[in-house]
Amino acid sequence: MTPRLARVLLAVFGLALALAILEGGARWLEARRDPGAVRVDDPRLEYRVAPGTGGHDARGNRNREAPRAVDVVALGDSQTWGVNASIDETWPARLAAQTGLRVYNMGHGGYGPLQYAALVPEALELAPRFLFVAVYFGNDVFDAYDLAYRFEAHADRRHPDPEERARIAAAPYPDLKRMFFQRVSYRRPGRAPLDWLRTHTAAGRLAAAGGFAPVSGADRAWAEDHPDEGFVYADGTLLTVFHTTYRLAAVDTRLPRVREGLRITESALLELARAVAAAPGTELLVLLLPTKERIFARAVDKAERAERAERAERAEKDESRGTRAPPSYRESVEFEARIAARLAAFMDANGIRWVDALPELRARVGRGEALFPRNGDGHFTPAGYAAVAGVAASALRAEPPAR
C-alpha cells in the first residue's frame, strides 16, 4: 500500500467514523425528545398512553413521576405534551422550575376540549390548587367537532336537531391529512439524495427540524412553489414557514364543522368549569394558546411594509421576492381572532378565569426570539415553551378578577 493510498483510506475512515458518531448522537437526541410510547384505544379519549412507556409515568402522562398530590395540573394537547421539547422543557415543567410548584402534565397530542373535560375528574384526584386547561387555536375547535361526531361516547355533544346534525356532518371540509402529507413529503426534481437523508437518517431529520438548508427543503420548497397556500418568513433574524390554507381550515367559521366545534368547545369549557367549581380548593385557569400565524401577524405586516418601501425606493416592480403572505394567511389570523374573542366573552359571561398568551408571545417575536422552528412546524421550541410558562406563572401570581 502506497503512502498516498494509506492517507486516502485514513481520511475515508475518519469521515465514516465522524458520520457514524453524528448519526448515533442524532438518534440519541431523537429517542430523548420523542421516545416511543404505546397507545391504547380508549372509547372516550380516543387513546391513552400505556403507563411507563416512552417517557410516560405510571399514569401514562409525560412526567418523571406520578405523585399523589400536586399544586398544579396542566391539561392540553401536543403543545402541552411538548413536541420539540424534552420532558424538562415542556411549559408545565418550566412552570414548575419558574415557580417551585409541583406541576403535573396531563397533556397529550391530538387531545381537545372534550378530552380535557373528560379528564377533569382524574386531575382533581391530585387535589391541585390550580387546574390549567390550555386551549390551542390551531386545532382544538375542530378537534371538538371531530371527536363528538366520530365517537359514540360523545354523541350527546352533537347538534340536538337531527336535520342540522346531518347537514353539518355532510358539509364539505378540506382533507387535512392529505394537505399535511402533501407538504411534508414534497419533492423537488434533483433533490432525491437530500430527501433521502432527511427521511432515512436521524441526522437529516434533526437538521430538517432545525431548518438547516438545504436538508430542510420539503417545507420551504412546498411553500415557495405554492405561493397561494403558504410562504416563507425571513427577516434576517427569524426564519419560519407558514402553510396557511392548512391552518385556515381549522379556524374558518364559514365551515359548518368549525362552527359546530366552537359550540361544542363552549359546552366542554362550561362543563369542566362547573366540575372544578364543585371541587373545594381548586381554581380553574384557561390558558389561550395562539397559533404561530397569529403570533407573527404584526411581524409579517412590518416585513411586508419594509419590503414595499424598499422596492418603491429602488423603483422596483418585481414582487416575487421577500415576505408575501397569501390571502389565506390574513383570513386565518382574522378568523382565529374572532374565535378567541368569542371564547373570551363566553368565559367572562360564565365566570371562567382565563389568560391569553398572545401579547407576551407576540412581543417576544418582535424582539427576535425564536419561539418556533425554522420550518412549517407550528409547535413551540423550548424557548417558546419557556415563554408560555412565564405567562402561566404570571397568571398564578395575579389576583383573580372580581366577579
**Poorest-pLDDT segment among 55-69, 314-328, 355-369, 372-386:** 314-328
Q: What pLDDT, in 10s, does the model give residues 64-108? A: 999 999 999 999 999 999 999 999 999 999 999 999 999 999 999
Q: What pLDDT, in 10s, does the model give residues 10-61? A: 655 555 555 555 546 545 555 555 457 999 999 999 999 999 999 999 999 9
Cα 280 to Cα 108: distance, rounded to the nearest angstrom: 26
* Residue 202 confidence (pLDDT): 53
**Poorest-pLDDT segment among 265-269, 304-308, 366-370:** 304-308
**Closest to 191 (Cα-Cα) out of 201, 179, 199:** 199
CB neighbours of residue 345 within 10 Å: 10
Residues 6+ apart with CB under 8 A from 142: 249, 250, 257, 258, 261
Q: What pLDDT, in 10s, does the model give residues 163-190? A: 999 999 999 999 988 888 888 778 766 5
* Residue 402 confidence (pLDDT): 46
Mean pLDDT of the chain: 87
* Residue 105 C-alpha from the chain's centroid: 16
Sheet holding 130-136, edge to edge: 103-105, 72-75, 130-136, 283-289, 354-356
Residues forming a β-bridge with 131: 73, 284
**Closest to 292 (Cα-Cα) out of 366, 352, 180, 378:** 378
Q: pLDDT class for 215, splitting at 50, 70, 90?
A: very low
* Residue 159 confidence (pLDDT): 97
Cβ–Cβ under 8 Å, residues 91 and 245:
no
Single-letter code of the amino acid located at 100: G
The sign of the dihedral angle between the CA atoms of 218, 224, 228, 230 is: positive
What are the DSSP calls for 77-122, one per residue? SHHHHTTTS-TTTSHHHHHHHHH---EEE---TT--HHHHHHHHHH
Calculate mean pLDDT across residues 156-164. Answer: 97
| Region 32-174+247-313+329-397: CATH code | 3.40.50.1110
User: What are the φ and ψ backbone dihedral angles of 40, each rounded to 5 degrees?
Assistant: -120, 130
* Residue 7 confidence (pLDDT): 66
* Residue 354 confidence (pLDDT): 98
pTM (predicted TM-score): 0.85
131: left (phi over 0), alpha (psi -120 to 50) or beta: beta
Residue for grid cell 358539509: 171
Q: Exposed, middle or buried: residue 66 (CB in 10 Å: 0-12, 13-18, 19+)?
A: middle
* Residue 310 confidence (pLDDT): 73
Q: What pLDDT, in 10s, does the model give residues 257-271? A: 999 999 999 999 999
Q: In the chain, what percentage of residues exceed pLDDT 70?
A: 80
Cell numbers for 235: 427577516
* Residue 154 confidence (pLDDT): 98
Residue for grid cell 381554581: 283
> Domain segments of the chain: what residues?
32-174+247-313+329-397
Residues forming a β-bridge with 81: none
Is 403's pLDDT higher than 50?
no
Cα 401 to Cα 403: distance, rounded to the nearest angstrom: 6
* Residue 227 confidence (pLDDT): 93
Residue for grid cell 367572562: 348
* Residue 400 confidence (pLDDT): 61
* Residue 190 confidence (pLDDT): 56
